[in-house]
């Protein structure tokens, strides 16, 4: 029977299109339980590779006959070997090209909607890592918000749209992934914007994002309106685009709220977090579509593959926005923090410009799920 490679992009399409897939993950159990390829209709079998070195006969009866089978490992090699054995045993199977490392880096651009004057807003869904980046396209110009380090995806997308990237913005100093904002600015001549309260230790020049800042993109009247909303970091800034979309960074997610501890300041910043969520956001229109910088689980994806929901709905449904007692809120935030992201201190220092790891080191630093939310 046949064995073929399945690209991360093909797997992403299966997630977005709500298709069925059976995944045989041959990594160790702890790695699988910590982080895996998630899909709405994916089924799983986790058998470590070393248990299959002598053959796959013991698992043949556990594999489905009516679903596509994808073998997954960390970097690809082990999954190729297992897929070959399964193919020799008479099964049609695929292996994940590039393994979990490649899955972590894939970005799927999805159109969110139209903007004033014929512009468009795109969300770049990094399904394997839970990161969300954005591109505002208007006239002959574009702005990229919270770009990740795979900058070629944004630069090439802008070329396809025949637009020039004029601005790269980060809502805050990220701690779970390496920002591509500075590199995009270097490659394209764009202005790089960062909240100044998050930039006190950076080693590079930048444009300070301040409360009430308006940044024009293109010939039409698209304003990226900076709204100072500290809590996840002391400089966290939200953006309101066209009075229609609220980009919340890591302050507010679809099913949770941001954690305030990645700079070791949970007790200090929890009050800022509550004020941003319960006061500043309360003053905004319920019709604004919340577009966060991360999602936690694949169930947060809408049918079209986007991650977003109206602010009014989140005030009804998101538990983190419905804790009336401030003491209870403080306890919820400070006592329900997940493990720190992998290498988060090194990632922060990279985003400050203090260290410059090579590309392979950067990949290793980011491996694993995002952990930006309060559980």
Query: Mind telling me the catalytic residues?
Result: 73
Contact (Cβ atoms closer than 8 angstroms) between residue 3 and residue 93:
yes
Tracing tokens 């058998």 back to the chain, one arrives at 47
Tracing tokens 């600015």 back to the chain, one arrives at 185
Contact (Cβ atoms closer than 8 angstroms) between residue 94 and residue 71:
yes
Strands 20-25 and 69-72: parallel
Cα dist. 269→3, 54, 246, 330 in Å? 52, 54, 22, 10
Distance CA 209, CA 212 (A): 9
């Amino acid at each position: 029977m046949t064995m073929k490679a399945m690209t991360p992009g093909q797997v992403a399409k299966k997630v977005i299109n709500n298709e069925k897939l059976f995944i045989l993950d041959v990594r160790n159990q702890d790695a699988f339980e910590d982080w895996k390829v998630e899909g709405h209709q994916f089924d799983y079998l986790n058998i470590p590779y070393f248990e299959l070195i002598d053959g796959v006969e013991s698992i043949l009866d556990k594999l489905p006959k009516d679903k596509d089978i994808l073998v997954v490992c960390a970097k690809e090699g082990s999954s190729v070997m297992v897929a070959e054995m399964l193919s020799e045993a008479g099964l049609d199977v695929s292996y994940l090209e590039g393994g979990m490392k490649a899955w972590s880096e894939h970005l799927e651009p999805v159109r969110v909607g139209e903007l004033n004057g014929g512009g468009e807003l795109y969300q770049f869904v990094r399904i394997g890592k839970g990161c969300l980046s954005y591109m505002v396209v208007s006239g002959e110009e574009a702005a990229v918000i919270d770009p990740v380090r795979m900058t070629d995806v944004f630069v090439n997308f802008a070329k396809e749209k025949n637009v020039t990237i004029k601005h790269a913005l980060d809502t805050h100093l990220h701690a779970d992934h390496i920002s591509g904002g500075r590199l995009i600015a270097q490659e394209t001549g764009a202005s790089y914007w960062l909240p100044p309260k998050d930039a006190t230790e950076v080693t590079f020049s930048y444009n300070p994002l301040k409360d009430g800042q308006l940044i024009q993109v293109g010939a039409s009247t698209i304003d990226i309106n900076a709204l100072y909303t500290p809590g996840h970091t002391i400089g966290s800034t939200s953006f309101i685009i066209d009075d229609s979309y609220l980009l919340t960074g890591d302050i507010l997610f679809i099913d949770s709220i941001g954690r305030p501890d990645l700079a070791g300041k949970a007790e200090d910043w929890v009050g800022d977090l509550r004020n941003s969520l319960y006061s500043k956001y309360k003053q905004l229109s319920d019709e604004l579509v919340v577009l966060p910088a991360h999602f936690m689980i694949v169930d947060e994806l809408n049918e079209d593959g986007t991650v977003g929901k109206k602010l009014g709905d989140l005030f009804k449904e998101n538990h983190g926005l419905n804790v009336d007692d401030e003491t209870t809120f403080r306890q919820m935030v400070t006592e329900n923090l997940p493990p720190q992201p992998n290498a988060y201190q090194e990632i922060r220092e990279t985003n400050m410009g203090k260290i410059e790891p090579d590309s392979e080191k950067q990949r290793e630093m980011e491996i694993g799920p995002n952990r930006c939310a309060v559980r």
